Copies of this chain bind each other. A is one copy, B any other.
Amino acid sequence: MSAQYGRPERIASVKGRDGGASRVGDVLELRGWARSVRTQKGMAFIDLNDGSGVSGMQAVVSEGSSAWEVANSGACSTGAALRVRGKLVASPGGKQAAELAVDELEIIGGADPETYPLQKKRHTLEYLRSIAHLRPRTNTIGAVARVRNQLAYATHKFFQSNGFLYVHTPIITASDCEGAGEQFQVTTLLNGLEGAASPEKVTAAEAAVKAQGDAVKSLKEAAKAGGATKEQVDEAVAKLMGLKAELEALSSSSSLPKNKDGSIDYSKDFFGKRAYMTVSGQLNGEIMACAVNDIYTFGPTFRAENSNTSRHLAEFWMVEPELAFADLKDDMDCAEAYLKYCLNHVLEHCDEDLEFFEKNITKDNLRERLRSVASQEFARITYTEAVEHVKNAKKKFEYPCEWGSDLQSEHERYISEEVFKDRPVIVRDYPKDIKAFYMRLNDDKKTVAAMDVLVPRVGELMGGSQREERIEVLERRIEELGLDKEAYWWYLDLRRYGSQPHAGFGLGFERLVQYVTGVENIRDAIPFPRYPGSAEF
């Protein structure tokens, strides 16, 4: 295999930047799915899509060719998998630069038009969620998949080119340090309980044991009196033992292992203690940043919040860089550079998809907006200034804004959209009482070195902080908040040995996908969304 490895060329590559004009004359073999098939005036027009772009390749079959019969066999319908071969020719219509004059047409797999759910007509995004196994075949969800892929790759390219190590932080955790929001529990304790015994069965088994016990007793007495043989007694005892074992099995399979105080005995669980699904890789990320310097995570995180909204998922992907020997300014610089890199990357690699979202979803100047964010310096203000801006606004807000309380989404959007005229804004130095224990206490003792990146239309996209590296300050905060210091032994060790200022931030990846594509419901920003009542496919 000295030859270069490669997969067959795809339609988007054939079309390139000129729609394929420079490739006219090439003989091509393409595989994909028919998005639509129509016949008129001795020509069949197949819109062939192979997943590489929103627009596919127009494949034209002329009457009289051997492909003509196949095209008109009825099996060549929307959704069918096809192989086509032919020459790329300049397209007489103005719609595309080039089209394929088909010599060979093969139907690889049909799609019965009577039952195939994705006919040419439009479907609501809500309906499409109910057929999540087919929806990536639609323009919108397919384009989201391509943009999501490029944002993920941009994430890796940005951090790798800046020397960050990608680390895999754990998904399952029995550490007591987490606890932001509700957590899912991971267990094997319920495995035996599925075919669990009903209380009736247990009662019946208990009765059977008692009855047999009585029978044994009577038999023994009878034996003493010569009215029963030893064999009869032995047989009855054996039966009693069997019934007792059955009862035992029923009882233990129908209940969780318990401690004496009635609580569940998690020492019997897989990990020997109660285990959860992670809500953030940050604390583990800090471990790595305190050893191998700058790192980033990119993995799934979980929230068991029962919120059925268009903004929340039970399972979502987070990007969490952690910078060693870094303060809040380094953190803000990194967040700003990262976001700009992602935007420039998708603008370069997903132009056709973004154009599609612009026309069909956001119905505005999406690409221009993204370009503007990617090219201008982000504003940077303190939380205290942000509160002033909101209080001085001429506008009415739904929620009040007072120093000491969280900025609401409407406040955040007002600041970036109106005060700073559609410019991203980084707000820093939040009151310590509304932020996490690990954020570094500022000299004013009232605020911490936290920051949020606000973008127009979305509000908060990233949030981060410099971490408290001073062990005595960190211990005091843990005590103030009534947290269990013992549980943080290893986190404190990072400050005990070779401590250094470090900082990081988190980005909810689906929020970024939403921001870039404009899709309104976060359930359309991930291929297989998980939310209350829904974990199908």
* Chain A contacts to B: CB under 8 angstroms: 1, 5-8, 10, 13, 31-33, 50-52, 79-81, 83, 108-112, 115-116, 118, 131-134, 136-137, 142, 145-146, 148-149, 152-153, 156, 160, 162-175, 182, 184-191, 193-201, 254, 256, 258, 260-264, 270-275, 277, 284, 287-288, 290-294, 299-300, 302, 304, 306, 314-315, 317, 323-325, 330, 333-334, 336-337, 340-341, 377-378, 469, 490-491, 493-501, 526-528, 530, 532-537
Contact (Cβ within 8 A) B142 A495 = no
Closest chain B residue to A286, Cβ basis:
B133
Contact (Cβ within 8 A) A528 B284 = yes
- Known contacts A137-B291, A186-B277, A270-B304; decide if A527 and B168 are in contact (CB<8 Å): yes
Q: For A142, A186, A284, A532, which residue has the most chain B Cβ atoms within 10 angstroms?
A: A186
Contact (Cβ within 8 A) A167 B469 = no
- Known contacts A264-B194, A495-B109; decide if A136 and B292 are in contact (CB<8 Å): yes
Closest chain B residue to A108, Cβ basis:
B500
Contact (Cβ within 8 A) A337 B5 = yes
Contact (Cβ within 8 A) A291 B136 = yes
With both chains docked as a complex, state the minimum distance between the C-beta of A315 and any C-beta of chain B, in angstroms. Answer: 5
Contacting residue for A5 out of B162, B167, B315, B469, CB 8 A? B162
Contact (Cβ within 8 A) B191 A185 = yes
Closest chain B residue to A4, Cβ basis:
B337
A181 to B287, CA, bound (A): 32
A222 to B261, CA, bound (A): 40
Closest chain B residue to A195, Cβ basis:
B263
This chain: how many copies in the complex?
Answer: 2
- Known contacts A7-B294, A51-B293; decide if A198 and B324 are in contact (CB<8 Å): no
8 closest cross-chain pairs (CB), A and B? A198-B262, A109-B499, A51-B292, A5-B337, A136-B291, A51-B293, A174-B535, A133-B490
Contact (Cβ within 8 A) A537 B287 = yes
**List of B residues within 8 angstroms of A254 by Cβ:** 262
With both chains docked as a complex, state the minimum distance between the C-beta of A270 and any C-beta of chain B, in angstroms. Answer: 6
Instruction: Identify 6 new A-B residue pairs, CB closer than 8 A, beyond the known A51-B324, A201-B262.
Output: A5-B162, A5-B334, A137-B498, A156-B156, A168-B527, A200-B262
Contact (Cβ within 8 A) A166 B194 = no
With both chains docked as a complex, state the minimum distance between the C-beta of A268 and any C-beta of chain B, in angstroms. Answer: 11
A337 to B4, CA, bound (A): 9
Closest chain B residue to A6, Cβ basis:
B162
**List of B residues within 8 angstroms of A80 by Cβ:** 498
Contact (Cβ within 8 A) B172 A530 = yes
**List of B residues within 8 angstroms of A171 by Cβ:** 171, 277, 300, 302, 315
**List of B residues within 8 angstroms of A299 by Cβ:** 299-300
A490 to B277, CA, bound (A): 27
Show 8 residue pairs from A and B whose CB-CB distance is below 8 angstroms, ordered by the A residue. Answer: A31-B500, A80-B498, A109-B469, A109-B499, A112-B497, A172-B277, A193-B256, A270-B533
Contact (Cβ within 8 A) A170 B136 = no
- Known contacts A337-B1, A497-B111; decide if A149 and B166 are in contact (CB<8 Å): yes
